[in-house]
């Protein structure tokens, strides 16, 4: 009997038995909520903010953290569902989650609902996902947030917000709304990528739950591919589990299966990778693409932004799928193709992620080949590009540069192919 694939990659995890990691964050959240504190969760897109909200709201999990139904009423609101609606719709959404039936209710009725809960010694925890949409909604305005702040000070009402950016950044984006004291009462919680052990536990736990536990070599392959990014791990794990199930092997992926899993993972993640890339400013894009040239030990503002976005880890790319994607992007000032990266302005080159030392003439030759991949570069064209203004024709001089360039590039130098009597071609197929 075929096992169901236990990996999630099309939406948030709702079943707590499939939730993995975030133990520190869950304990932090639960401690603050038990103390009556409100919390603002922030983190990049698809880092598991919604899954975390669902996990902590599950009755069994909530009860295990002394936030059970005997003490707490939990409400989940999706900011996208309230986009463009007014204040009465907001109150109505909360009231319906608490048992009401009307689409909209007035502020006095909303207060009455909360006072009824307080009289029963119940706290209300209101989790608002996609909070940036709430904050940017001009039909809510400062008055709504001032009222919510006042109610939180008088009644056992707490909030958990989840947004891509921290509340302080939302305040700068919408100062007319977010100057309310409502935004001063939150403890911040920033979600980052998973810890390494949590990432491995996710792969081990879910594959074991599905009946085909990943072998150590498969775990290493998937971690190299995805890094500790929650979504990337789920997608890579999904395709690896499917491949093992079709091959009927015991946890180890064949070479062919690894190629397929890498390709399928990259294809599935392409929209998310494009989103991350398009969200970066030009400086951050250049910095990300040029990591093999400069590394990221120097914590510049661009490097800090990349770490915050979850794209860098320990001085290099989060994982192989991200690096593969970046290598295919157009970046001003860089030529990159195959294993080669060249900074045309600063004269630096890297091969297979490692910096190589080239002479100015060798750099110029590599630049010429990278600007015409798959096309034969004649010796005459090389001479014109490498020694402009000189009229002495000496094809052996160009051949000598290519020979030295090949040697400096190591095994990757074999990509420069000699077409006898015609010239040289950079083959990246």
Domain ranges in the chain are 22-190, 196-325, 333-426
- Region of 295 on the Ramachandran plot (φ > 0 left; ψ -120 to 50 alpha; else beta): left
What is the per-residue pLDDT across 309-357, written as a single tens digit (0 to 9) for each?
999 998 899 999 999 999 999 999 999 998 999 999 889 999 998 999 9
For 278-302, b where at least 16 C-beta lie within 10 A, e where not — what string? eebeeebbbbbbbbbbbebeeeeeb
Contact between 232 and 202 under an 8 Å Cβ cutoff? The reply is: no
What is the per-residue pLDDT across 35-46, written as a single tens digit (0 to 9) for each?
999 999 999 999
Confidence of residue 136 (pLDDT cuts 50, 70, 90): confident
Is domain 333-426 annotated with CATH 2.40.30.10?
no
Where helices occur in 248-394 by DSSP H, the ranges are: 255-279, 282-289, 291-294, 301-308, 320-327, 360-371, 379-386
| More confidently predicted of 113 and 296 | 113
Total residue count of the chain as it appears in this document: 429
Record the pTM. 0.88
- Region of 213 on the Ramachandran plot (φ > 0 left; ψ -120 to 50 alpha; else beta): beta
Helix (H) or strand (E) holding 106: none
Residue 297's pLDDT is what?
Answer: 59
What is the per-residue pLDDT across 83-101, written as a single tens digit (0 to 9) for each?
889 999 999 999 999 999 9
What is the per-residue pLDDT across 265-291, written as a single tens digit (0 to 9) for each?
999 999 999 999 999 999 999 999 999
Query: Is it true that 22-190 and 333-426 share their CATH fold?
Result: no
Contact between 147 and 141 under an 8 Å Cβ cutoff? The reply is: no
DSSP codes of every residue in 162-230: EESS-HHHHHHH-HHHHTSGGGGSEEEEE--SPPHHHHHHHHHHHHHHTT-PPPHHHHHHHHHHHTT-H
Contact between 196 and 75 under an 8 Å Cβ cutoff? The reply is: no
Contact between 103 and 152 under an 8 Å Cβ cutoff? The reply is: no
**Tokens matching residue 79:** 């900011």
Q: What angle do CA 183, 186, 190 make, to 5 degrees?
A: 110
Instruction: Express as a percent the part of the chain with pLDDT over 90.
Output: 78
User: Could you tell me which residues are beta bridge partners of residue 285?
Assistant: none
Q: Please determine, for residue 174, whether its predicted confidence score (pLDDT) is greater than 90.
A: no
Q: Which CATH superfamily is domain 22-190 in?
A: P-loop containing nucleotide triphosphate hydrolases (3.40.50.300)
């Amino acid at each position: 009997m075929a096992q169901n694939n236990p990996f999630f990659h099309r939406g948030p995890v709702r079943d707590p038995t499939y939730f993995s990691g975030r133990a520190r964050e869950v304990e932090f959240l639960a401690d603050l909520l038990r103390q009556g504190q409100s919390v603002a969760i922030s983190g990049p897109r698809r880092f598991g903010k919604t899954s975390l909200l669902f996990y902590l709201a599950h009755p069994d999990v909530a009860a295990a953290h002394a936030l059970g139904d005997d003490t707490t009423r939990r409400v989940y609101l999706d900011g996208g569902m309230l986009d463009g609606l007014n204040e009465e719709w907001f109150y109505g959404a909360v009231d319906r989650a608490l048992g009401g039936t009307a689409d909209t209710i007035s502020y006095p009725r909303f207060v009455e609902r909360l006072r009824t809960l307080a009289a029963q010694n119940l706290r209300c925890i209101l989790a608002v996902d996609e909070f940036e949409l709430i904050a940017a909604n001009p039909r809510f305005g400062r008055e709504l947030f001032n009222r919510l702040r006042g109610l939180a000070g008088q009644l056992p009402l707490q909030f958990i917000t989840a947004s891509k950016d921290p509340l302080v950044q939302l305040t700068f984006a919408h100062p007319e709304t977010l100057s309310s004291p409502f935004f001063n009462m939150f403890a911040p919680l920033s979600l980052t990528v998973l810890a390494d052990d949590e990432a491995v536990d996710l792969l081990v736990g879910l594959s074991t739950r599905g009946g085909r536990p990943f072998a150590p070599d498969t775990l290493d392959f998937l971690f190299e591919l995805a890094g500790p990014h929650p979504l990337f791990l789920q997608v890579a794990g999904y395709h690896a589990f499917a491949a093992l199930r079709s091959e009927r092997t015991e946890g180890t992926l064949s070479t062919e299966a690894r190629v397929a899993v890498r390709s399928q993972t990259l294809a599935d993640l392409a929209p998310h990778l494009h989103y991350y890339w398009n969200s970066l400013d030009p400086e951050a894009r250049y910095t990300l693409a040029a990591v093999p040239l400069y590394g990221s030990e120097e914590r510049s503002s661009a490097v800090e932004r990349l770490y915050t976005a979850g794209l860098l880890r320990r001085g290099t790319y989060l994982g192989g799928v991200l690096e593969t994607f970046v290598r295919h992007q157009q970046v001003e000032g860089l030529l990159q193709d195959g294993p080669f990266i060249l900074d045309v302005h600063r004269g630096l080159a890297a091969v297979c992620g490692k910096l190589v030392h080239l002479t100015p003439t060798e750099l110029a030759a590599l630049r010429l080949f990278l600007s015409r991949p798959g096309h034969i570069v004649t010796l005459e064209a090389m001479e014109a590009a490498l020694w402009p203004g000189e009229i002495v024709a000496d094809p052996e001089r160009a051949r000598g540069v290519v020979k030295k360039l090949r040697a400096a590039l190591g095994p990757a130098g074999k990509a420069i192919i000699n077409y006898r009597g015609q010239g040289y071609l950079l083959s990246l197929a």
